[in-house]
Structure 1
Amino acid sequence: MLGWLRVCAAWGAGGLCCRSSRTMKETLFKGNFWSTDLTSTAGYDSIIQHLNDGRKNCKEFEDFLKERATIEEKYGKELINLTKKKPCGQTELNTLKRALEVFKQQVDGVGQSHIQLAQTLREEARKMEDFREKQKLHRKKMELIMDAIHKNRNLQYKKTVEAKRLYEQRCRDKDEAEQAVHRNANLVTQKQQEKLFVKLAQSKTALEDSDRLYQLNVGALEKIREEWQNEHTKACEFLETQESERINYFRNALWLHLNQLSQECVRSDERYEETRRSLEMCSIEKDIEFFVNFRKTGSVPPAPVVYENYYNTQRNATSARNQAPAPGKGRRGPLPIPASGPGDPDYATIDGYSLIHH
């Protein structure tokens, strides 16, 4: 139980530890994911890829919980079916019978507990899914802003580069026009010289226009660059916060999962302890006494079987036949002694008839 309390205490301290370290350290993303190339998104892409990997890892853990829940549920149902279908000492009597009944009840309880654990794991998986979807939804808004500003920045950069190219070309055109005027000042006719001056004037006008357009594009690009830089900084801070929350949530979810498994072991051990206590109440003497009283068949053993010599048995049987039958031992009893003597008249009289002739 003390170990269980330490686990709970450590889990609670873990969350505090993460929050305290978060306040001690400033964000690191915004200072380490830049590029000297204005149009590069390498830093931003690297962060996004890392967070996508993190979301994938959360999904894998979520799937792991679901699969573990399926296993726990199957195991729980198998335990329950085992207690219902498989006999286990069904002919035992008295205290041991009660202990076995407790044992099967507790095994059934363990099965029910594993089914409950499966439901808990599915709930935790659902929470992880909700967390992932919530982060994804919040990130989507930020990503839309960043995608739009990246597109606008790159478009303006291309326009600025094109404006610069045109400006530089106009500069070269103006320089060539000036050189042509100076080079041909005394070699051409007045009419040709006027053409050179017109061309020079046109090149100067074109240069001024391209210079003005180039400066406008540079100014616009700078505004967009500043806006992008601010948004990139905000995105880095937002994404770092999301990553910190994800790591903290993932860590705590895994810690909670381990606590749930430990708690399941504790519950199972408590159920097995209930069976052990029931076994402690099992009395060998009482069970034997109960069986004797319940199933006894008699207390008098059979008489010994003695040796009988065949010839002695035959002689004894012959002697018994030659001897007068003992009183009460024959097939019929002895004749009754007449009440009168042979000489008496009643002696020979039967139903009024006399056998003695007078």
Structure 2
Amino acid sequence: MCDLNVQISSTDLTSTVGYDSIIQHLNDGRKNCKEFEDFLKERAIIEEKYGKELINLSKKKPCGQTELNTLKRSLDVFKQQIDNVGQGHIQLAQTLREEAKKMEDFREKQKLHRKKIELIMEAIHKNRNLQYKKTMEAKRLYEQRCRDKDEAEQAVHRNANLVTQKQQEKLFLKLAQTKSALEDTDRSYQQSVTTMEKIRDEWQNEHIKACEFFETQECERINYFRNALWLHVNQLSLGCVQNDEKYEEIRKSLEMCSIEKDVDFFVNLRKTGSLAPAPVVYENYYNAQRNVTPARSPAPVPISRRGPLPTPTSAPGEPDYATVDGYSLVHF
């Protein structure tokens, strides 16, 4: 920030406008880091809540619970993977909290290091301003003694032939006193200026070192902030990739789902026999009385197996499912 120091410096020796501007900028940067830290914490709360809701949904909400065979297995995989997605969001929430803690540690470390430099600069500013005030006071006294000496000299020349010998002696005495006072204030003023210059040189050197330190800190902060944002986005992308892997397991399970097997499984599970009930025939009461031999019921008719299952077709606007190179795609 040496370049910044030149750009925002002031010709007023006691001015801290440039320094204050740098400190304000650093404080703003620290505030921005705190805002991102809070953002990560809030995002973690959202992710954790969403993950828990998904887990509760997969465990408590019925979803095709009476399905059988291959479709049932696909539904079991579906609910398990939704549970895994929920667990992934909870894990992401924990990761975000860890990143927020890292940002907090970085922010506090910079604050601690900055505080040492700021204390040094505050002491130098205080000493510089105090010495500047003393120097200006010494200059005021010096200039006043110069005016007093000039007035005394003018009084001697102006009244050289107009006053008595005794009055002349008083004028010369006063002139001598003003000259002596002037010499004292002149030495004091020069000493004060010399001291001021030493303090000014020390302040300037410390100011440059402080600006260099602040510049290094600001570069580190921007770099850390940028990398933290980059990492956060990568974590979100990774979560999406991991979720898609879980969803792919569901798609693979659905590929193994067989309509014919599920129908046959249901038939075999719930079948009641292969013979149809005998037809109900008309029996004449009086004929039955005369005919001692009971009439035999016609033999039951075997149930013929129906033809092949119809091939499901997609209605307009519904997706067609296909597998390409082992990867499930949905073509709309």
Q: TM-score, normalised by structure 2?
A: 0.86
- Matching of residue 166 in structure 1 with residue 141 in structure 2: yes
Task: Give, as a single letter, the amino acid of the residue that structure 1 aligns with 2:100.
Answer: A
- Matching of residue 297 in structure 1 with residue 272 in structure 2: yes
Q: Specify the alignment match of 2:24 in structure 1.
A: 49
| Partner Cα separation in structure 2 for residue 29 and residue 281 of structure 1 | 67
Matched residue pairs, number?
Answer: 294
Correspondences of 1:1-358 after superposition (within 5 Å): 27-306=2-281, 308=282, 313=284, 316-317=287-288, 320-321=289-290
| Partner Cα separation in structure 1 for residue 206 and residue 55 of structure 2 | 59
Contact 2:145–2:182 at 8 Å: present in 1 too? yes
| Partner Cα separation in structure 1 for residue 87 and residue 12 of structure 2 | 62
Task: Give, as a single letter, the amino acid of the residue that structure 2 aligns with 1:316.
Answer: N
- CA deviation string 1:330-350 (max 9, x = no partner): xxxxxxxxxxxxxxxxxxxxx
| Partner Cα separation in structure 1 for residue 110 and residue 131 of structure 2 | 31
- CA deviation string 1:266-299 (max 9, x = no partner): 0001000011001111111111111111111111
| Partner Cα separation in structure 2 for residue 315 and residue 277 of structure 1 | 69
Contact 1:30–1:237 at 8 Å: present in 2 too? no
Q: Specify the alignment match of 1:17 in structure 2.
A: none
Structure 2, unaligned stretches of length 5 or more?
295-332
Contact 2:2–2:208 at 8 Å: present in 1 too? no
Task: Give, as a single letter, the amino acid of the residue that structure 1 aligns with 2:58.
Answer: T
Task: Give, as a single letter, the amino acid of the residue that structure 1 aligns with 2:242.
Answer: R
How big is the shift at 1:27? 4.9
Structure 1, unaligned stretches of length 5 or more?
1-25, 328-358
**Cα RMSD between the aligned structures?**
1.6
Q: TM-score, normalised by structure 1?
A: 0.79
SS at match of 1:133: helix
Q: Specify the alignment match of 1:9 in structure 2.
A: none
Bigger RCO of structures 1 and 2 (CA < 8 A, at least 6 apart): 1
How big is the shift at 1:305? 3.6
Contact 1:65–1:125 at 8 Å: present in 2 too? yes
Task: Please say which structure displays the higher CA radius of gyration.
Answer: 1
